[in-house]
Amino acid sequence: MRGAAMTTTVEPMATRRLVQRGALDWLLAPAPARRLNLVRTLTVLYGLVWIGVRADHWRNLSRLPESRWRQVGIGGWLAGPPSTAAVTALVLATFGAGVVALGGRGWTVCGPLFAVGFLALTTFGASWGQILHTEHLPALHLLVLAAAPAGRGASATTGWPLRVMTLVTIGTYVVAGLAKFRFGGGLDWLDGDRLSRLVAHDNLRKRLLGDPFAPLARFVVGHPLLLRVGVWLTVLVELGAPLVVLGRRWRAAWIGSAWVFHITVLLTMAVLFPYPLFGIAFASMLPVERLRRQRSRASTRRP
Amino acid sequence: MSGFLRAVGVRPDGLETVLSPELIGGTVEVIHAAQTLSNALRAGRAEEMCDEIAGRVVGAGLDVVEVLVVTDSFDIVEGLRADHPAQVDREEHVACAVPP
């Protein structure tokens, strides 16, 4: 009897220890430094392009009446919105830090400066009544990379930032999946009716304001079954994101599904998520360094 | 059926014209424009918002004499599929003249 009692108490502990060790092994497994360097380059490059694209928008926001300012996230201590000059200075300083970081110099200084500047700019943008969800993941990824070492060889120090980036990516999809149940009517979300109304409402609003709307929107709102299937697939993709830790095949299947999901969102709602669509959101999960090697092999083969 | 809070311009001949997100919210973002109107209405600042939009209409040089902030109700599925979506109902929140 005593033996049986001991078995029941020891087994869960041993299992927990195994799981913890497995998780730690996964987190700290070495990765090639080239992978981390390439992921850093891609993420910083994306951040630079994003700043270039959004700079005018942020400057326009800074000219709006102060009554429209609703501070979110960091910077709650600010009494009011920063001036246009301050926003312009922040854009230029962040962009400059990013360019230097992209060149591979002074990462320990420029990396954190760029990450914090990107976070500050996107937080400022989100403080005027609209939150762009597509900005969250690159902002978080840049913060993880800012804490990562430059890395010279394959080691645990080059592995953990990539794994943490992957965990952050998984987290954003799971949170998005849970939010649909939390704010989309619980399990009623699964019947597809709410998604149908959401797609119709979002596209009609764009149309009424003279904005381009999604090319497939008119088609899908007339096909409830299609939307019901779409809801289930969306739930599978978003809540299934943790599957990427199970291995190469699961990872490849999930990344492919997530990419198709974003393409579908673009075609049915005209909502663009460039970070995952260009694949940069998934770069930390992939052996991206092989792309560079294949490219260099291909260029040496050319006469 | 779904309501859309929006601002429309009225031309001298009485016809209505669509105001872009930039004229409504001050940026090119559609959702930002809609959220801006919604926030203003909820905060009891609809008139202030209307005047702000009218100021931007002047700056854009549009042939518009009045701005209306309204909630137009549509059958959203039919509205999306129609070539010219027509509202089923309208609630006018505030109207303001565009300065000459």
Q: Which two tokens stand for residue A283?
A: 């770069």
In this prediction, residue A201 carries a pLDDT of 92
C-alpha A245/C-alpha A56 separation (Å) is 39
In this prediction, residue A298 carries a pLDDT of 64
pLDDT at B29 over 90: no
- Number of C-alpha atoms within 13 angstroms, CB side, residue A294? 5
Domain extent, residue A232, equals 184-289
Instruction: Give which of A174, A182, A177 is closest to A245, Cα–Cα.
Output: A174
H-only helix segments in chain A: 2-28, 33-62, 84-102, 107-125, 136-147, 156-183, 193-208, 217-221, 224-239, 248-269, 274-277, 289-301
pLDDT tier at A297 (50, 70, 90 boundaries)?
A: low
DSSP 8-class letter at B20: P
Average pLDDT on B51-72 reads 93
For residues A96 and A134, membership in a common domain is answered with yes
For residues A188 and A149, membership in a common domain is answered with no
Judge residue A272's burial from the number of C-beta atoms within 10 Å of its C-beta, 0-12 exposed, 13-18 middle, 19 or more buried.
exposed
In this prediction, residue A152 carries a pLDDT of 53
Give the total residue count for chain A: 303
For residues A218 and A123, membership in a common domain is answered with no
Whole-number average pLDDT of chain A: 88
CB A78 within 8 A of CB A129: no
CB A68 within 8 A of CB B27: no
Check if B17 contacts A (Cβ < 8 Å).
Answer: no
Domain ends where: A133, A154, A175? A154
Give the total residue count for chain B: 100
Indicate whether A274 belongs to any domain. Answer: yes
In this prediction, residue A24 carries a pLDDT of 85
Residue B93 or A33, more confident: B93
- The pTM assigned to this predicted structure is 0.85
C-alpha A138/C-alpha A262 separation (Å) is 16
With an 8 Å Cβ cutoff, are A129 and B52 in contact? no
Check if B78 contacts A (Cβ < 8 Å).
Answer: no
Indicate whether A11 belongs to any domain. Answer: no
pLDDT at A1 over 50: no
With an 8 Å Cβ cutoff, are B20 and A209 in contact? yes
Residue A103 or B62, more confident: B62
Residues contacting residue A243 through CB under 8 Å, at least 6 positions apart? A250, A251, A253, A254
Beta-carbon neighbour count of residue B43 at 10 Å?
12
CA separation, residue B58 to residues A36, A171, A187, B55 (Å): 52, 46, 48, 5
Q: Which two tokens stand for residue A186?
A: 């619980």
In this prediction, residue A282 carries a pLDDT of 97
Question: What SS3 class is residue B74?
Answer: strand
In this prediction, residue A5 carries a pLDDT of 47
C-alpha A229/C-alpha A233 separation (Å) is 6
Average pLDDT on B15-39 reads 89
Average pLDDT on A4-14 reads 59
Q: Chain B partners of A217 at a C-beta cutoff of 8 Å?
A: 80
With an 8 Å Cβ cutoff, are B6 and A65 in contact? no
pLDDT tens per residue across span A164-213 = 999 999 999 999 999 999 988 888 889 888 999 899 999 999 888 878 89
With an 8 Å Cβ cutoff, are A57 and B28 in contact? yes
C-alpha A293/C-alpha A60 separation (Å) is 43
C-alpha B85/C-alpha B78 separation (Å) is 8
Rounded to the nearest angstrom, the gap between the alpha carbon of residue A10 and the centroid of all alpha carbons in its chain is: 40
The conformational region for residue A75 under phi > 0 = left, psi -120 to 50 = alpha, else beta, is: left
pLDDT tens per residue across span A122-175 = 999 999 888 888 999 999 999 999 998 875 555 667 889 999 999 999 999 999
For residues A135 and A199, membership in a common domain is answered with no
Average pLDDT on B19-29 reads 89
pLDDT tens per residue across span A91-105 = 999 999 999 998 877
Q: Chain A partners of B72 at a C-beta cutoff of 8 Å?
A: 208
Question: For an interface test with A, which of B50, B74, B76 has the most A Cβ atoms less than 10 Å from its Cβ?
Answer: B76
pLDDT tier at A40 (50, 70, 90 boundaries)?
A: very high
Check if A65 contacts B (Cβ < 8 Å).
Answer: yes
Question: For an interface test with B, which of A62, A68, A70, A223 has the most B Cβ atoms less than 10 Å from its Cβ?
Answer: A68
Q: How many domains does one find in chain A?
A: 2
CB A44 within 8 A of CB A98: yes
In this prediction, residue A303 carries a pLDDT of 53
Check if A55 contacts B (Cβ < 8 Å).
Answer: no
For residues A192 and A139, membership in a common domain is answered with no
Check if A200 contacts B (Cβ < 8 Å).
Answer: yes
Q: Tokens 């003279």 correspond to what residue?
A: A210
**Percent of chain A whose pLDDT exceeds 70:** 91
CB A202 within 8 A of CB A269: yes
Whole-number average pLDDT of chain B: 91
End-to-end CA gap in chain B: 37
Indicate whether A298 belongs to any domain. Answer: no
> Which ipTM score applies to this complex?
0.85
In this prediction, residue A225 carries a pLDDT of 93
Domain ends where: A132, A154, A176? A154
Q: Chain B partners of A54 at a C-beta cutoff of 8 Å?
A: none
For residues A130 and A234, membership in a common domain is answered with no
Nearest CA in chain B to A56: B27
Strands in B66-74's sheet, in edge-to-edge order, are B16-18, B2-10, B66-74, B89-97
DSSP 8-class letter at B43: T
In this prediction, residue A3 carries a pLDDT of 44
C-alpha B37/C-alpha B49 separation (Å) is 7
Check if B77 contacts A (Cβ < 8 Å).
Answer: yes
Residue A272 or A158, more confident: A272
CB B1 within 8 A of CB B88: yes
CB B37 within 8 A of CB B69: yes
